[in-house]
A and B are shown apart, each in its own frame.
Chain A
Amino acid sequence: MDLKSLKQEEHKRKTKKGYMWALICAVLWGIWYIPGSLVWVLNPFDIMYAEIAPVDGDSTALFIAAILITSLTALTVMISLVLWNLVTGKYGEIKRTLKEFRPCSKWFMLAAICGGPVAILGSYMAMGFVGGAFAAVASLLFPIVSSTLAHKWYGEIISKRAALGIILIVCGGISIYAGGLLTELTTGNVRWLGYVGGLMAAVGWGAEGAVAGKGLDIAEPDVGLTIRFFAETLLWWIIVIPILLILGYPMIKYTLMAFEPMVFMVLMFAGLSFGYCYITLYKSLPLIGVGRGQGVANLYGLCAVIFIFLFFGDIPSWTLLLGAALCLIGSTVMYTEDTGDMESLRGD
């Protein structure tokens, strides 16, 4: 085989690998909505809600429960990443990268803020207030945020085809989003906090991708990811949970109750799927770019709808199916893009 065809083959392999990581991410991310939805009907979160609701109202009670669930998820994701790093032997690199605050870890900490208290909390709010399928598809708008930021911020090239794919995905997201919202508007019972949560997820994850991309330039994805979740875990357990404790919410009692084997297993399941979905996403971003990587990872919406249907028997509405189809087409448009003429994904 001559040099040129070997080169083309290698480039194809690289692009394929990037898309493959993004697809695995989509499946794992979709799976996450199973324990994410399940955890809401388990104790201690159920009785925590029942204890807070009579005093502070339903919305506050759900919000506080969502914070505890998000904090515990951050913890189980950290456990999953510790396992991952044990296998890959990246502890030395974590130490080296953590020390580089200005060029590296600063960005991962910023990504933790966009990802944790905005995106993941928002997502749990959407799951608790509206439902798993809605939460999954509500954040489908995030590629538009990440692509715009990546384009404006560090000049990442978004080809016409990639843009078309992103637009199709976004249309799919809107279809699913609007479907549920319109039904509720007609009955007059709109669960606004859930919809705000969905929006938080979209904006938070979009911003996280772009911010993390900045630090990932010069760091290893596994390492960047671990620092990002380390920062999020600290943020919840050193700042947010103690503040809620001072405000008089029974955080310690319910945290300790969450370590009951059945509950912890569900949380661990959430940690594993979510932690490893991040690992695969962070691996794909440097290979195919933030816009494309997150665009394909967007298929998680479809995966989540299927998994929720299989596990909980929730039959999706036609708007949901239309949206899911648009997402699939959009991702395929991006996947079949010929990137042969693009040596680099960044502008000069």
Chain B
Amino acid sequence: MAANRPIKFRILELCHNSEGRWNYEIVQQIQKEYNLKGNFSRDSINFDIIELASGGMLKNIESKVDEDGIYKKGFLLHKYTITEFGIIRAKDACLMYV
């Protein structure tokens, strides 16, 4: 998917795999694809992920402490995968090929 659809669509698409994706990976990839620079964009994208998880579309499958400061030192890093509900919503909105 090119960077011409809403960011949350792309996040759902990125999480649509069996292994799931770490939040810092998603944030980095979205920042690159959408050409969004800076910490404000970083936090904003991470907030999008949190919202999708709160809405039941993403599921947190693994967490670890950010020891090395990949994202924010001392905070948690989360690995997400899409939920059944997420797939239904994504099918309706963006994952046309599913």
Closest to A215 in B: B93
Partner of A7, one of B44, B63, B90: B63
User: How many chain B residues have a CB neighbour from A under 8 Å?
Assistant: 35
Q: Which residues from A are CB-within-8-Å of B65?
A: 1, 3, 6
Contact code string A87-104 (vs B, CB < 8 Å = 1, else 0): 011001100110110111
Partner of B51, one of A102, A103, A286: A286
Closest Cβ–Cβ distance, residue A55 to chain B (whole Å): 49
The answer on a CB contact under 8 Å between A103 and B92 is yes
**Alpha-carbon separation in the docked complex, A218 to B57 (Å):** 9
Q: Is the C-beta of B94 less than 8 angstroms from some C-beta in chain A? A: yes
Q: Is the C-beta of B39 less than 8 angstroms from some C-beta in chain A? A: no
Q: Is the C-beta of A217 less than 8 angstroms from some C-beta in chain B? A: yes
Contact status of A343 and B93, CB under 8 A, knowing A10-B76, A287-B50:
no
Closest to A6 in B: B76
The answer on a CB contact under 8 Å between B6 and A219 is yes
Contact code string A140-163 (vs B, CB < 8 Å = 1, else 0): 000000000000000000000000
Closest to B48 in A: A220
A179-232: which residues lie under 8 A (CB-CB) from chain B?
216-221, 223
Measured CB to CB, the residues of B under 8 A from A are 4-9, 12, 34, 40-41, 44, 48, 50-57, 59-60, 63-65, 75-76, 83-85, 89-90, 92-94
A sample of 26 cross-chain residue pairs with beta-carbon separation below 8 angstroms, ordered by A number, consists of A3-B64, A6-B63, A6-B65, A7-B76, A96-B4, A96-B6, A100-B5, A100-B6, A216-B55, A217-B57, A218-B6, A218-B8, A218-B89, A218-B94, A219-B8, A220-B7, A286-B54, A287-B50, A287-B51, A287-B54, A344-B83, A345-B54, A346-B56, A348-B83, A348-B84, A348-B85
The 6 lowest CB-CB distance pairs between A and B, nearest first, are A346-B56, A103-B93, A344-B56, A286-B51, A97-B6, A218-B8
